[in-house]
Amino acid sequence: MTITAPDSSRPRIVIARAIFPEVIEQLAQHFEVESNQADTAWPQDEFIRRLQGKQGVLTTGGERINVALLAACPDLKICANMSVGYNNFDVPAMTAAGVLATNAPGVLTETTADFGFALMMAAARRVTESEHYLRAGQWHGWRYDQFAGVDVHGSTLGVIGMGRIGQGIARRGALGFGMNVLYHNRNRLSATDEAAAGNARYVTKQELLQTADHVVLVLPYSAQTRHAIGAPELALMKPTATLTNIGRGGTVDDVALAAVLRAGRIAAAGLDVFEGEPKVHPDLLVCTNVVLTPHIASASLPTRRAMADLAARNLIAHLSGSQPPTPINPEVLGTG
Ligand code: 8YV
């Protein structure tokens, strides 16, 4: 839908998915806006067609910006992701084409860390499994070991992927639940950041997997992190441990995970992201000891609004020649 009468002097942008009407109104004050408020997923060829002749696009994290799209859309100057993850962007190709990539870091950290903690606790204490049992009318009385789970307080938390969100989870664990915090990351944090993250201790991935009672993954997806947790890694975990993933689908081998869950080789898992989502592997769907949520870790209304606002600020700044707040490839700035 076109929001305003076309005015060829204003930059033209596409909003790839439904977002807050107030944010669209704000963007329409600056741009000719074509917006997918119907929210039906555009196939890639239609997405490309709609981006032709446009200078900007607001993406939500799922739309692919690749070499073919960039070649077909030479007017494009900026792709603003309304997400912190940006594995939907081919950043080197965007840089080569002089197209700015921006994401939405910071504004979703605490909300996403809250959810990671909730998912971990739900897995450890069997919250959804026991609720399904109750709703199915199967609850006929108390029993000493009914839905007995594993403790969170005082246990060892292992965070793999210690960016802002990972550090937020570590803080929650240490300060709120007296957890001993281990982490593994591409780079070791500074001593100050380790102290702020609950005196987190940097360990190898192997030590973390062997020692942690609750492993939480907050990894971005890349060729390097694909199946970072597969059968060999799962085999290292304690039989009483839980695994929670709020990073990206594909960092865990879902088939291998379903196999260890079914076998009771680990206690439970909590997954907000999946390989090939929104499809979820059928082996996971039949496991009772996994909590499954539809990629909602950042989904509080104020946070989603802040993410959309930040994407809009990036579009407005870049297309009006000012400094965008959160560039991914700042080397593009000043070259056009
Ligand atoms: C988004 C996310 O909602 O920011 C991210 O990286 O995973 C979520 O907060 C998601 O990317 C939307 O596709």
- Residue 263 and residue 143 in one domain: yes
Residue 85 Cβ contacting ligand 1 at under 6 Å: yes
Residue 299 in this model has a pLDDT that exceeds 70: yes
Residue 231 in this model has a pLDDT that exceeds 90: yes
Residue 336 in this model has a pLDDT that exceeds 90: no
- Residue 41 and residue 169 in one domain: no
pLDDT single digits (tens) 20-70: 999 999 999 999 999 999 998 899 999 999 999 999 999 999 999 999 999
- Residue 242 and residue 174 in one domain: yes
- Residue 14 and residue 101 in one domain: yes
Helix, strand, coil: what percent of the chain each, to 5?
35, 15, 50
Q: Average pLDDT for residues 212-225, to the nearest whole number?
A: 98
Domain range for 23 is 2-105+301-332
Q: Average pLDDT for residues 142-160, to the nearest whole number?
A: 98
Give the percent of the chain with pLDDT over 70: 97
pLDDT of residue 9: 84
- Residue 88 and residue 22 in one domain: yes
CATH number of the domain enclosing 281 = 3.40.50.720
Nearest CA to ligand 1 atom 9: 298
- Residue 216 and residue 236 in one domain: yes
pLDDT of residue 314: 98
Tell me the sheet residues that pair with 325. Answer: none
Q: What is the mean pLDDT of the chain?
A: 96
The DSSP output letter for 110 is H
- Residue 7 and residue 56 in one domain: yes
pLDDT single digits (tens) 99-129: 999 999 999 999 999 999 999 999 999 999 9
- Residue 128 and residue 100 in one domain: no
Tally the domains of the chain.
2
Write down the pTM of the prediction: 0.95
pLDDT of residue 6: 63
Higher-scoring residue by pLDDT: 336, 272: 272
The DSSP-derived string for 251-291 is SB-HHHHHHHHHTTSSSEEEES--TTTTS--HHHHT-TTEE
pLDDT single digits (tens) 64-94: 999 999 999 999 999 999 999 999 999 999 9
- Record the tokens describing residue 148, joined without a space: 């007995």
The DSSP output letter for 96 is H
Active site residue 295: yes
Marked catalytic residue, from 295, 304, 313, 318 = 295
Residue 7 in this model has a pLDDT that exceeds 80: no
Residue 103 Cβ contacting ligand 1 at under 6 Å: no
Marked catalytic residue, from 110, 262, 277, 281 = 277
Residue 202's nearest CA partner among 190, 214, 216, 210 is 190
Burial of 71 per CB tally in 10 Å (0-12, 13-18, 19+): exposed
- Per-residue pLDDT band for 334 (boundaries 50, 70, 90) equals confident
First vs last C-alpha separation in the chain: 30
- Residue 123 and residue 62 in one domain: no
